[in-house]
Every structure is written in structure tokens, then in C-alpha cells.
Amino acid sequence: MREYLKFYIDGKWVDPVEPKTLDVDNPTTEQVSGKIAIGGAADVDNAVKAARKAFATWSVSSREERLDLLQAILAEYQKRSADLAEAVSEEMGAPPSLASGVQVYLGMGHLSGAIDALKNYEFEVPRGAAMIFKEPIGVCGLITPWNWPINQIACKVFPALATGCTMVLKPSEVAPYSGQIFTEVMDAAGTPAGVYNMVFGEGPGVGAALSSHPDIDMVSFTGSTRAGIDVARNAAATVKRVTQELGGKSPNIVLDDDNFAANVAAGVAAMMPNSGQSCNAPSRMLVPKSRKDEAIAAAKAAAEQVKVGDLEDKTAIGPVASKAQFDKIQGLIQKGIEEGATVVAGGPGRPEGLETGYYVRPTVFADVTNDMTIAREEIFGPVLCILDYEDLDQAIEIANDTDYGLAGYVSAADLDAARAVARRIRAGQVAINHAFDLNTPFGGYKRSGNGREWSEYGFDEYLEIKGTLGYSPA
């Protein structure tokens, strides 16, 4: 049993102001695996005071000092990679191969990206007789989710450090173990006292206190659109900057060409990793109506090949992260059936032979129209919807007919054709043939949020822009 009962404030492990704990479940066993301390407004206030004090010196640190710290963090991160992987498996159910692979790798990738970006980032840009300075925004409140826990911590903490900000992190209370070990990494790397602080807590307590705190200058939030709206409301009274990476209902437009069946199968394969718990998952597959039957057959075959709960199989998916998530997904699968969609693979209930653990059957719906609940709401599980289109204009119209705009996908053999479609999708990131690159910006249009993360694009969110006129002789 893990017990993480202290917070990290001002370079020290400290007790909560008011002792309160929360049990943490293991979604694979459905048993309590540990407990964490839960903070409140007083703990947040202590952490913010420490961060404000540290900002005076860290904000004027040199590029070399920040690079040295990031390099030290990288060394400690590599030492603890196995511990991080074990924590992710235990807290949110990622199979060992996924936890030790992509889950841990993404944190390291964002760290390496921040180091590379910082080496050449221009904090001073001359413009005629003026100088444009990019200065750290101040004390940042960082609120992260449970689905890619290390990834989301990394792509907030590292750009904040690189730009000279100080911070208070609230990891997800659903998946807090990796946040604890990440904080141990930060401590072991010699992060100056107060620069990085961590308080466990729930959204209505610590999250609300962070987003409304008058001495927090910026909040970076990743989570549901509903919770993101609450964060923005809490932040409004103090007119602080809010960046949000929220929900998605991403379209995958499969073009009519010789690679069609393989591209359908690839779309299913891209939907299932992390048990579908990715905000940018390609959850709406759009196929030509003339090839609908072929698409259904290919998707059904691909979904039925997805193994669930087999720890020895590196391709197998694990459970979803919690009972609440499992119940939500089951309810939406049932809603799809009630609204007339056809289950061609998977369906309600657990996979055969898995009576313990929050496992969901890899599910494919056909005969889906874009007004159905399963086509409108983010399911956040291994559930794919197939919709059909008459022509590309209609495909684009369906793709963009959503409240979200986080990601989009185009699957095609003809790169020029794919490029033309990608230009028309209203989303912050569009992948052709499921390409992936950490050096690109990540963030959404519409109700998928605002601001961008990853590589140097994430730096801008943590900087204020100051124009200094008459800086140089006219």
C-alpha cells in the first residue's frame, strides 16, 4: 500500500494544514492501492507564497542556469523511469508495456524538447528602434489529468521552468502516484526551493483555490470541457491568463483509394491505445458511403483483434481508469444502441473472462449519424463510431460539425489529396496517416480549449510580451 501524505512546498516535504486523506483505487484489481493527503485553500496559499518568493530570483536566472536544471532533471527522470512506469500501471491501469513505453517516454520527450527549444529561444527580439522582451508571466497553477499523467505534467512543468516561471502543481487525485515520483525527481535534481511546489487535492478544493488565487498569474488546465469552464470562471475575477486543453471528438476522414481497407484498420488501431482515453483519439471515422460495407468489415476485423487485459501481450489494452469512467462509457454504449446505431464489434459489458477490473470491450458502431449522442459526446473509451459521406465536401462538413476542435486525421495514399483535406479541418492538430511529432503545437479550436503546448510553442503561454520603445538609437 502506498501512502503519500505530504506535500512539496518551498523545497520541503510538509504536512497538510488540516489532515485529510483519500483512498486511491487500482482499476485493474478494483481494490484500494494506497492513500494520499488531500489539501485545501490553506495549503495552496502556502505553496503560492513559496512560489512568489522564489519568482524574484528564478525569473532572472540565466538561460544556462535553466538548462543546467533541466539536464539534471533529465538525469534523475531516467533513473526513476521504472518507478514512474510502475506508478502509472498501478494508478490508472496502463499495461506495463504502455506504461514503461509511451507513458514514460512522453515525459522524457517533452523534457528533451524543452531543452532543445530553450537553447535557441529568443527572449529578446529587436524591432527597429524598439526591443520586444518575452518575460516570465509569474506564478503558475498547473492542473493535470489522469489519462496521460506524466505527459501532462511534463508539458506544463518543463516550459514553465524553461521560461523562468515558478509553479504549483495539482496532479490528478485519480492518478497521483506518478505525480509523487515526478516531484521526488524534481527534488533530487536540485530544483531551487519554491520554484516547483506540489499539492495533492480534488478539483473543488485545490483546483478551485489555485484558479481563483489572486497571486497566481496563470493557470494551465488539462481535463474535461466542463471542468475547464469552471476553471475559467474561477480565474475571471483576477483576470489571470488561462490556457486549457480540453475534450475532443476528432474526425478521421478515410479517402476512397487503394489503401482503403488498411487505412480503416489503422484508424481502429489508433483509437484503441490507452483504452481510448485520449482527448485526441480519432473517435469518428468518416468513410465513403459507397464503401461503407467494406469499412464495417475491416473495422470489425481490426477491433476483434484487439486483446484486452493480457499483460504478456504488448498490444493489449488495459482497463479504463475508474468505476466512474467505466459506468459513463457503458451508459454511452447503451445510448448508442437506443438511438439506432449498430454494434458491429464489442458492445456493453466486460470482455469475456474479465470479471474484475474496469475493462471495456473494444467497440465499433456503424450506422452512426452526426446528431447521435455517441457522435457528439466524448466517450473517452475504446469506442469508435463509423459515419459515411457522399463526397469530400460533405465529409468536411461532418468533420467540422462538432463543438470540439482538438485534432483531426486524414487517411489516404495520395499525399496531395490528404493535404487538401487537412487544410479544411477545423482543429489545432491534424495528422496525415496518423503521423506523430512532439515538435508540433498541440491544442484546440472551439470548446477543445485555447493556447498551445509542446516544444517551443508551449513556451509562449508562460511569457508576457513587453515592448520597449526607444531601446536603440533611432
**Can you list the domains of the chain with their CATH numbers?**
2-246+448-468 (3.40.605.10), 251-441 (3.40.309.10)
Q: CA end-to-end span of the chain, whole Å?
A: 67
Q: What are phi and psi of 44, to 5 degrees?
A: -60, -45
Residue 280, CB-side half-sphere exposure with 13 Å CA sphere: 20
Q: What is the pLDDT of residue 312?
A: 80
* Cα dihedral 269, 272, 274, 276 sign: positive
Are residues 216 and 44 in contact, defined by beta-carbon separation less than 8 angstroms? no
pTM of the predicted protein model: 0.97
Dihedrals φ, ψ of 321, to 5°?
Answer: -75, -20
With H, G, I as helix, E, B as strand and everything else as coil, classify residue 231: helix
> Is 245 assigned a catalytic role?
yes
Of the candidates 86, 90, 184, 245, the residue annotated as catalytic is 245
Decide if 279 is catalytic: yes
In eight-state DSSP terms, residue 381 is S
Q: Which of 279, 378, 385, 461 is catalytic?
A: 279
Rounded Cα distance, 472 and 128, in Å: 8
Q: How far apart are CA 426 and CA 240, in angstroms?
A: 27
**Any idea which residue has 455517441 for its cell?**
374
pLDDT at 311: 80
Ordered per-residue pLDDT tens for the chain, 474 residues:
999 999 999 999 999 999 999 999 999 999 999 999 999 999 999 999 999 999 999 999 999 999 999 999 999 999 999 999 999 999 999 999 999 999 999 999 999 999 999 999 999 999 999 999 999 999 999 999 999 999 999 999 999 999 999 999 999 999 999 999 999 999 999 999 999 999 999 999 999 999 999 999 999 999 999 999 999 999 999 999 999 999 999 999 999 999 999 999 999 999 999 999 999 999 999 999 999 999 999 999 999 999 999 888 888 999 999 999 999 999 999 999 999 999 999 999 999 999 999 999 999 999 999 999 999 999 999 999 999 999 999 999 999 999 999 999 999 999 999 999 999 999 999 999 999 999 999 999 999 999 999 999 999 999 999 999 999 987
What pairing do the DSSP bridges indicate for beta strands 139-143 and 166-170?
parallel
Between strands 383-389 and 363-366, the pairing is: parallel
Q: Which grid cell sits at 348?
A: 456493453
